[in-house]
């Protein structure tokens, strides 16, 4: 089973899994979410997304590449509303102080 994506956070991992599932892939995730502490991940924790078949790897990587491109187009980093730490737009929660980020 090849790894098709390495996510820096559970949100990205879940989004990629949704994209791959929608494209018909059998996917699974491994990483720190298994610890049950999804809200308190250290920032360097890596979550990996896997597909079941080696033969589907190239096609799955295309789906992931499209996802990554759409993420980059998602906007600039923004400061946390509470501590002003700069966060990527896909983060729902500040990794530093834990404050939930309100959608603008």
* Interface residue list for Zn ion (CB under 5 A): 80, 82-83, 85, 94, 96-97, 99
Q: Distance between the two ends of the chain, CA-based, in angstroms?
A: 39
- Decide whether 8 or 29 has the Cβ nearer to Zn ion: 8
In whole angstroms, the minimum distance from the beta carbon of 12 to Zn ion comes to: 18
- Decide whether 3 or 97 has the Cβ nearer to Zn ion: 97
**Which residue, chain included where needed, has tokens 């018909």?**
24
- Decide whether 6 or 78 has the Cβ nearer to Zn ion: 78
From the list 18, 30, 26, 15, the residue with the least C-alpha distance to 57 is: 26
């Amino acid at each position: 089973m090849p790894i098709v994506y390495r996510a820096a956070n559970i949100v990205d991992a879940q989004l990629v899994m949704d994209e791959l599932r929608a494209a018909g892939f059998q996917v699974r995730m491994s990483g720190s979410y298994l610890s049950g502490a999804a809200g308190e991940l250290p920032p360097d924790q890596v979550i990996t997304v896997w597909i079941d078949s080696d033969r589907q790897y190239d096609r799955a990587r295309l789906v992931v590449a499209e996802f990554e491109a759409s993420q980059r187009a998602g906007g600039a980093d923004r400061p946390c509303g509470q501590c002003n730490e700069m966060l990527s737009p896909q983060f729902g929660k500040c990794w530093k102080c834990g404050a939930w980020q309100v959608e603008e």
